[in-house]
């Protein structure tokens, strides 16, 4: 059984427990869902259907790509349904001869007008669209805990990321990289040299005049980078669909007392969080402790402490101090820890690494750091 078949089998079991006869996944413009890649290996632009009796159908825009890259029981190109999602879903129901009145779950991101059209197209079925819960919540929980195949991908992905970190530091020291543009384009080109699919998200490169923002806008410019003060470089590279996510801070002297203190506090907050990571630890408790640490220093971090990573740069679990955050850490989870501080006059700093929780402890996969020039 392939890893994709194993993943689908977990959802088939869920469907039987919940009496859901048909589940639909959609990865299209405006409604992206990488779960289809998790379930089949297909990189995107497709519909996918699972049935309660252990069948799967992939409906790709590009049939040739699907045959080459995907693992699905049945592949029928979107063009066979006149490139119409409603006709495609109706066709799936007819193909598998679903019982009259049976439950069919569609994606939660479906807009209400489209939901009504689904109800009309599947008038002889009970169409379900969960805002919370349902099969899409189940797959979110499954994707949050990486399987051995995914962990293997992350080990290679982290090696590439770490090599890039070393190269970036070297090239900044040698003044080969002198602008935000230099840094961003170097990462883009170099990661492809390593065989990556590209960057996992748009690289954020902010020199001393722009590092005061959590996420600089625009993401990078032709301004100076790693000159006097604090510069932030936030990037990730994508390998077999999965992305890393790290942030380096380059600190170029002379630094003000405020800047030096910001760096020290950020490093201490990072180590505090890392030392709290463990099996069954509520993520909110870690984020709350970091918030208290900064508050005692009369500082405040204006963003969450971290987040899960995988086929998306931000996925479960969210590591933040919110009352409704009830995630707890489990072996197999891969997530970021990224404390940071920002000041309009002195710039910003952030330290972010990718962390794997295993059965035996904590493994820091990446080697991002504050680089003092």
Per-residue pLDDT of the chain (373 residues; tens, 9 = 90+): 799 999 999 999 999 999 999 999 999 988 999 999 999 999 999 999 999 999 999 999 999 999 999 999 999 999 999 999 999 999 999 999 989 999 999 999 999 999 999 999 999 999 999 878 899 999 999 999 999 999 999 999 999 999 999 999 999 999 999 999 999 999 999 999 999 999 999 999 999 999 999 999 999 999 999 999 999 999 999 999 999 999 999 999 999 999 999 999 999 999 999 999 999 999 999 999 999 999 999 999 999 999 999 999 999 999 999 988 999 999 999 999 999 999 999 999 999 999 999 999 999 999 999 999 9
The confidence score (pLDDT) of residue 30 equals: 86
Which of 235, 248, 244 is CA-nearest to residue 170? 248
Which of 128, 130, 148, 149 is CA-nearest to residue 140? 130
3-143 and 145-372, same CATH topology: no
CATH number assigned to the domain covering 3-143: 3.40.350.10
Segment (H or E) for 266: helix 257-276
Classify residue 233 by burial, with Cβ atoms within 10 Å: 0-12, 13-18, 19+: buried
CATH number assigned to the domain covering 145-372: 3.90.230.10
> What is the rounded distance in angstroms from the CA atom of residue 45 to the CA atom of residue 50?
17
The confidence score (pLDDT) of residue 1 equals: 75
pLDDT digits (tens, 9 = 90+) for 51-80: 999 999 999 999 999 999 999 999 999 999
Other CB atoms closer than 10 Å to residue 303's CB: what's the count?
Answer: 14
> In DSSP terms, which residues pair with 56 in a beta bridge?
50
Torsion sign over Cα 358, 360, 361, 362: negative
> What is the rounded distance in angstroms from the CA atom of residue 281 to the CA atom of residue 98?
43
pTM (2 d.p.) = 0.94
Q: How far is CA 149 from the centre of its chain?
A: 17
| Strand-strand pairing, 315-319 and 306-308 | antiparallel
The confidence score (pLDDT) of residue 64 equals: 95
Evaluate whether 305 touches 320 at the Cβ level (below 8 Å). yes
The confidence score (pLDDT) of residue 302 equals: 96
Domain boundaries along the sequence of the chain = 3-143, 145-372
Classify residue 289 by burial, with Cβ atoms within 10 Å: 0-12, 13-18, 19+: middle
The confidence score (pLDDT) of residue 132 equals: 82
3-state helix, strand, coil in the chain (%, to 5): 35, 25, 40
Which of 303, 266, 312, 306 is CA-nearest to residue 283? 306
Which of 74, 14, 79, 13 is CA-nearest to residue 48? 74
- Hey, what are 306's tokens? 């971290």
> What is the rounded distance in angstroms from the CA atom of residue 142 to the CA atom of residue 71?
19
| DSSP 3-state of 340 | strand
- Hey, what are 92's tokens? 């799936």
Evaluate whether 198 touches 192 at the Cβ level (below 8 Å). yes
> What is the rounded distance in angstroms from the CA atom of residue 191 to the CA atom of residue 237?
7
Which of 39, 23, 22, 14 is CA-nearest to residue 97? 22
Evaluate whether 168 touches 203 at the Cβ level (below 8 Å). no
């Amino acid at each position: 059984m392939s890893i994709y078949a194993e993943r689908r089998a977990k959802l088939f079991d869920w469907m039987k427990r919940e009496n859901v006869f048909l589940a639909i996944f959609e990865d299209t413009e405006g409604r992206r869902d990488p779960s289809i890649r998790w379930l089949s290996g297909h990189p995107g632009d497709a519909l996918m259907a699972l049935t309660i009796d252990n069948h799967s159908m992939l409906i790709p825009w590009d049939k040739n790509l699907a045959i080459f890259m995907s693992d699905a029981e049945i592949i029928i190109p979107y063009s066979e349904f006149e490139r119409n999602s409603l006709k495609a879903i109706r066709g799936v129901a007819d193909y598998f001869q679903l019982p009259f009145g049976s439950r069919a779950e569609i994606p939660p991101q479906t807009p209400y007008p489209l939901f009504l059209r689904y109800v009309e197209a599947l008038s002889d079925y009970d169409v379900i669209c969960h805002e919370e819960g349902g099969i899409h919540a189940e797959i979110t929980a499954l994707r949050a805990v990486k399987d051995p195949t995914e962990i293997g991908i992350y080990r290679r992905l982290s090696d590439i990321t770490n090599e890039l970190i070393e190269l970036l530091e070297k090239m900044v020291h040698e003044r080969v990289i002198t602008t935000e543009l230099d840094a961003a384009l170097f990462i883009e080109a170099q990661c492809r040299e390593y065989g990556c699919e590209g960057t996992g998200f748009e690289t954020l490169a902010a020199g001393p005049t722009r590092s005061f923002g959590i996420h600089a806008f625009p993401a990078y410019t032709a301004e100076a980078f790693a000159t006097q003060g604090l510069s932030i470089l936030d990037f990730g590279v994508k390998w077999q669909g999965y992305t890393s996510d790290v942030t380096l801070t380059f600190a170029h002297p002379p630094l003000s007392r405020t800047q030096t203190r910001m760096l020290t506090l950020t490093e201490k907050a990072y180590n505090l969080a890392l030392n709290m990571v463990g099996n069954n630890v509520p993520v909110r408790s870690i984020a709350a402790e970091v918030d208290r640490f900064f508050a005692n220093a009369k500082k405040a971090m204006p963003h969450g402490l971290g987040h899960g990573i995988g086929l998306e740069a931000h996925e479960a679990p969210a590591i933040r101090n919110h009352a409704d955050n009830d995630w707890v850490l489990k072996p197999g989870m891969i997530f970021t820890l990224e404390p940071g501080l920002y000041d309009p006059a002195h710039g910003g700093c952030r330290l972010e690494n990718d962390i794997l929780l295993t059965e035996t402890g904590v493994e820091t996969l990446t080697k991002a750091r504050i680089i003092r020039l």
